Structure 1
Amino acid sequence: MQVPFLSLKDITEKYKDELHEAVLRVTDSGWYLQGNENKKFEDDYARYIGTKYSVGVANGLQALELMIRACKILYKWNDGDEIIVQANTYIATILAISQNNLKPVLLDPNTDTLELDSEKIEKAITSKTRAVMLVHLYGRCLYNEKIDDICKTHGLKLFEDNAQAHGCMYNGKKTGSFGTVAAHSFYPGKNLGAFGDAGAITTDDEEIANLVRVLGNYGSSKKYVFDYIGENSRLDEIQAAVLDVKLKHLDEDNNRRKQIAKMYYEGIKNPIIKWPSVKSDESNVFHIFPVFCEKRDELQKYLKDNEIGTLIHYPIPPHKQKCYKEWNEVSLPVTERIHERELSLPMSPCLTDEQVQWVIKTINSFIY
């Protein structure tokens, strides 16, 4: 039995008629940028997340980069100021900090929860610390009150990288609404995915929202008038229309992901397989179902031989990448161990129970 890691074609097929109608509506309108579709999605997404404002941008990296840049301008941060961030993240989180000439301060997460350790955060704070970046990795809510209290006590901004956790909650409140501002990616493979690159920021701060919009429009708030050296980072009308269709089905799709995760949790009995601590039902939307295995590469090959697709998130941590060669000798043992052992199992709202059971049966038959 074939089990793809993720079939975008199957996801699109679920809502094909609605999506075709949305795309046709845009093509017939003759308006392809900064129009009604964009405004409607921004309003709907802000309402869904629970913030006053949502601003669409071209992709998730630029959502991160623009939200940080807006805060740097508004709060008069200097080059070299610091943002504390967990080391076990996708490199985009780190790139956005570096691109703003700020310094990422990398911290190892807790081994079991993958959350930032509040004690480590406090020890890392210096006179140059300006913010803490919280990454809701794998679809898990990594917010907690201790981190929030630390930020408030020390006058730091709390940023959220919500690229992998659309619809995730904590005590009835959605990720993307806890901090000063949050970045969202709508890359096609995300829980809420576009037909190409797309992103957004969410915030309750009107100044941040307005400045992100200006910076992403060449630095212009009025046609041919440029207050900032900006860039072209706008969510196009087709992507906005597609996302608005999928947003209506997001909770339903996330619930299916939770059902699949429950089957994995209950069915996988092979003692070589470990996973992060299990969170409450509302606090994980399972963008990825990661397992950790000492024989990760052998397990991946075994699953491939049985026609089961997997991915590694991520094989090389940011501080070991060539582009950050100045960090290559830094030791972050928890992060490095995570990246050496992580394997992502198939996770999609389109998987059948039979496919999930085949994954479980195959893993349980893996001899190490």
Structure 2
Amino acid sequence: MKVSSLDLKRQYETIREEINRAVLEVISSQSFILGPYVESFESKIAQFCCVKHALGVSSGTDALLLALMACDIKSGDEVITTPFTFFATASSIARVGAVPVFVDIDPLTYNIDVAKIAAAVTKKTKAILVVHLYGQCANMDVVLAIARAHGLVVIEDAAQAIGAVYKGKKAGSFGEIGCFSFYPTKNLGGYGDGGLITTNDDKLADFVKLLRVHGSKSKYYHSHIGINGRLDAIQAAVLSVKLNYLNGWSEKRRTVAAYYDKHLQDLPIRLPQTESYNTHIFHQYVIATPARDSLAKYLERHGIETAVYYPVPLHLQKCFEFLGYKKGDLPEAERASNETLALPIFPEITEKEQDQVIGHIRKFISQQ
């Protein structure tokens, strides 16, 4: 039996009629860029995220870029972030001319090690770009305390954490700005690229609205240099339908994760750790073992898809050589890059499929 790491076709089959109707309604309206469908979605998602403003943008990457631009992060500024995340987190910092300053990760949650942030603050530090990796929030009390003590902006990269909760508050509602991705594989995924910015700051919201349309409030009159960063109406319509199901999908992901936990906990592998104050949404279910590569190849031979997020930490990427990091500088991130493996997880996966994954993992370990 082949087990896919993700099967979006199954999800589509459960909502096919609603999705098709919503998309056809947009096509019939011939209103495709921003407009009433985007505004309606923004209102719904703002309520879901418990924030004052939610602004649809063109992608999660552009959400990060717009957030940095709106917070006036510029050339020469330093932004503290994690090296163990998707490339866009750090590339967006570099694109505004700022310098990413990498802080090692917590080996249990894979989020930034908040105990090491303060030591990375300098006179040039302007922001902390904190990532909620795999669906679990970072320790925001500590992040916010450091930011307040040093007058820093906090930007949340919540691309993998839509609906995740930290001490009763939703991801994306803590910092000056929260950033989300609606890439199709995300827990709330569109049918193309899309992203979101959340904020409780009226001025920042107005500035992002300006920046996402080339820095223009009135057509052809530009007060700032912005980007083409708008969410299109078809994506908004799709996401509006899917948002109604998101809480249920997240709960199913937690059920899937608990089943893996129950049947893998006696093995010599590291399972995901959820902090007691967090509600995890399990965008990924990530195990760790020094035999990661051999295990992945074994599972592949038996028809089981897995993935590695991420095989090279950002401080060791070729494009960031100019920052001067070397192997060994951030050992926990480097270890995670060598040992972590994401198992199949999606709301529609069956216990039979999970049993297939579990059985082959157990068989592999018994042969070691």
From 328, 331, 334, the counterpart of 1:333: 331
From 175, 191, 194, the counterpart of 1:195: 191
Residue equivalent to 2:237: 241
State the 1:30 CA deviation: 1.3
Letter in 2 for 1:68: L
Residue equivalent to 1:5: 5
Please show how residues 1-368 of structure 1 align to structure 2 within 5 Å.
1-72=1-72, 77-269=73-265, 271-280=267-276, 283-326=279-322, 327=324, 329=326, 331-366=329-364, 367-368=367-368
Range that drifts further, 279-288 or 26-35: 279-288
Query: Partners in 2 of 1:36 and 1:135 — Cα distance?
Result: 31
Percentage identity across paired residues of the two chains: 39
TM-score, normalisation: structure 1: 0.96
State the 1:97 CA deviation: 0.6
Is 1:114–1:276's contact at 8 Å kept on the other side of the alignment? no
Letter in 2 for 1:49: C
TM-score, normalisation: structure 2: 0.96
Query: Partners in 1 of 2:353 and 2:277 — Cα distance?
Result: 22
State the Cα deviation string for residues 118-160 of structure 1 (Å, max 9, x = none).
Answer: 3311111111111111100001111331221111121111110
Range that drifts further, 205-214 or 319-328: 319-328
Q: CA RMSD in A?
A: 1.4
Gaps of 5+ in 2: none
State the Cα deviation string for residues 99-136 of structure 1 (Å, max 9, x = none).
Answer: 11111110101212323333311111111111111100
Query: Partners in 2 of 1:103 and 1:135 — Cα distance?
Result: 17
State the 1:325 CA deviation: 2.1
State the 1:90 CA deviation: 1.0
State the 1:281 CA deviation: 8.5
Letter in 1 for 2:332: V
Is 1:269–1:364's contact at 8 Å kept on the other side of the alignment? no
Letter in 2 for 1:253: W
The 3-state SS of whatever aligns with 2:139 is coil
Query: Partners in 1 of 2:286 and 2:136 — Cα distance?
Result: 11
State the 1:262 CA deviation: 0.1
Gaps of 5+ in 1: none
Letter in 2 for 1:259: T
Is 2:111–2:133's contact at 8 Å kept on the other side of the alignment? no
Query: Partners in 2 of 1:281 and 1:69 — Cα distance?
Result: 32
Is 1:3–1:346's contact at 8 Å kept on the other side of the alignment? yes
State the 1:277 CA deviation: 2.2
Is 2:136–2:282's contact at 8 Å kept on the other side of the alignment? yes
Is 1:60–1:186's contact at 8 Å kept on the other side of the alignment? yes
Q: From the superposition, tell whether residues 198 and 300 of structure 1 become closer, same or farther in structure 2 (CA, over 3 Å).
A: same
State the 1:344 CA deviation: 0.4
Is 2:144–2:154's contact at 8 Å kept on the other side of the alignment? yes
Is 1:61–1:96's contact at 8 Å kept on the other side of the alignment? yes
The 3-state SS of whatever aligns with 2:71 is helix
Is 2:265–2:271's contact at 8 Å kept on the other side of the alignment? no
Letter in 2 for 1:121: I
Is 1:57–1:63's contact at 8 Å kept on the other side of the alignment? yes
Q: 4+ residue stretches of structure 1 with deviation over 6 A?
A: none
* Total equivalences in the alignment: 364
Query: Partners in 2 of 1:129 and 1:108 — Cα distance?
Result: 17
Is 2:42–2:55's contact at 8 Å kept on the other side of the alignment? yes
Query: Partners in 2 of 1:261 and 1:31 — Cα distance?
Result: 41
Query: Partners in 2 of 1:5 and 1:113 — Cα distance?
Result: 21
The 3-state SS of whatever aligns with 1:365 is helix
Query: Partners in 2 of 1:49 and 1:280 — Cα distance?
Result: 21
State the Cα deviation string for residues 173-222 of structure 1 (Å, max 9, x = none).
Answer: 11010111011000000000000000010000111111112111011011
Query: Partners in 1 of 2:57 and 2:26 — Cα distance?
Result: 18
